C-alpha cells in the first residue's frame, strides 16, 4: 500500500532550494504555481486562462528574483502571500491602465444599456424629494451627494444602523415609484 501524497512542505522545499537543491526548488515553484493558479482562477473569474497564467508567471519570477528577501523567522507561506498579492495588484493595475478592450465587451454593455430604463437626473431628484422625512435626507446624502454611510450618520446625527434602515426604505420606495411610472 502506498501512502497518500502528503501536502508538500513548502518551508522545507524552499530552504533546500535556497541551498542549491534544484529538484526541491522545482517542486517548490510547481507548488507555488499550482496554488496561485487555483487562487487566481477564483479571483479573476472574468479573465481568460492566458491572463491567469501571466500572473502566475509574474509571481514565479518575483518569488525567484526576491528569494533573498525571505527571513528564516517567517513562515514561507506568509512571505509568498505578500509577494503574490503585490504582483497580483500590480498586474490588475496595469491591466486597468492599458486595458485591452474587446468589441464584445462593448456590445454587451450597449445591449445592457438598452434593456435598462434610462432615469434622468432631474427625475431622480424629484423622486428623492418626494420621499418622506428621514429617508429623503439619507438617500440624498448617500445617492446624490455620494456620502458614505458613516458620514451620513454623522451629518444627520443618526446611528449607522438607523441610516442603513432609512436608506433601504428610501430605495425601496424609489424602486416602486419607477416601476409604476414604467407601466
Partner 1 sequence: MKTSQLIDQLSAEASTHPPKRPLSWPVALGLAVAVGAVLMFALFDVRADLPDVAMYYGFLLKPIVAALLAIPAIRLIMDVSEPTSEPTRHLPWLAVGFVVLAIGIALEMMIVSPANWSARLMGDNPAACAASVFLIALPILSMVIFAIRQRATVRPVMAGALAGLFGGAVSTFLYAAHCPDDSPFFLAIWYGIAILALIGTGALAGRLFLRW
162 touches partner 1 (CB under 8 A)? no
Cell numbers for 76: 514561507
The answer to whether the CB of 91 falls within 8 A of the CB of 56 is no
The residue whose grid cell reads 437626473 is 121
154 touches partner 1 (CB under 8 A)? no
Q: What is the dihedral of CA 170, 175, 181, 183, to 10 degrees?
A: -150
Q: Which stretch binds partner 1 (CB under 8 A): 42-50, 74-82, 111-119, 136-144?
A: 74-82
Question: Least CB distance from residue 2 to partner 1, whole Å?
Answer: 25
How many residues in the shown chain lie near partner 1 by CB under 8 A? Answer: 32
When the beta carbons of 79 and 167 are compared against partner 1, the nearer one is 79
| Member of 10, 79, 167, 174 binding partner 1 (CB under 8 A) | 79
Q: How far apart are CA 90 and CA 87, in angstroms?
A: 5
Cell numbers for 152: 451620513
Question: Least CB distance from residue 41 to partner 1, whole Å?
Answer: 14
| Member of 12, 30, 106, 161 binding partner 1 (CB under 8 A) | 30
Q: Which stretch binds partner 1 (CB under 8 A): 70-78, 103-111, 139-147, 175-183?
A: 70-78
Q: How far apart are CA 19 and CA 158, in angstroms?
A: 61
Q: Which stretch binds partner 1 (CB under 8 A): 43-51, 59-67, 135-143, 167-175?
A: 59-67
Question: Least CB distance from residue 4 to partner 1, whole Å?
Answer: 24
Residues 6+ apart with CB under 8 A from 37: 52, 53, 56
Cell numbers for 103: 468589441
Among positive and negative, which fits the CA dihedral 103, 45, 32, 34? negative
When the beta carbons of 30 and 105 are compared against partner 1, the nearer one is 30
Rg over alpha carbons for the chain, rounded to the nearest Å, is: 26
Cell numbers for 55: 500572473
Binding site for partner 1 (CB under 8 A): 17-18, 20-23, 25-26, 29-30, 33, 53, 56-57, 60-62, 64-69, 71, 74, 78-79, 82-83, 85-86, 90
Amino acid at each position: 500500500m502506498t501512502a497518500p501524497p502528503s501536502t508538500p512542505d513548502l518551508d522545507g522545499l524552499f530552504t533546500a532550494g535556497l541551498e542549491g537543491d534544484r529538484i526541491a526548488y522545482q517542486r517548490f515553484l510547481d507548488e507555488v504555481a499550482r496554488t496561485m493558479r487555483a487562487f487566481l482562477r477564483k479571483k479573476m473569474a472574468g479573465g481568460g486562462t492566458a491572463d491567469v497564467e501571466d500572473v502566475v508567471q509574474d509571481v514565479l519570477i518575483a518569488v525567484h528574483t526576491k528569494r533573498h528577501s525571505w527571513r528564516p523567522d517567517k513562515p514561507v507561506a506568509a512571505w509568498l502571500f505578500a509577494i503574490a498579492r503585490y504582483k497580483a495588484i500590480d498586474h490588475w493595475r496595469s491591466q486597468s491602465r492599458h486595458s485591452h478592450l474587446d468589441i464584445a465587451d462593448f456590445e454587451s454593455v450597449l445591449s445592457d444599456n438598452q434593456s435598462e430604463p434610462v432615469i434622468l437626473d432631474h427625475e431622480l431628484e424629484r423622486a428623492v424629494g418626494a420621499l418622506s422625512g428621514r429617508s429623503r435626507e439619507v438617500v440624498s446624502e448617500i445617492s446624490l451627494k455620494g456620502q458614505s454611510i458613516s458620514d451620513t450618520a454623522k451629518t444627520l446625527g443618526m446611528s449607522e444602523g438607523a441610516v442603513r434602515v432609512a436608506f433601504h426604505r428610501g430605495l425601496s420606495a424609489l424602486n416602486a415609484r419607477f416601476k409604476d411610472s414604467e407601466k
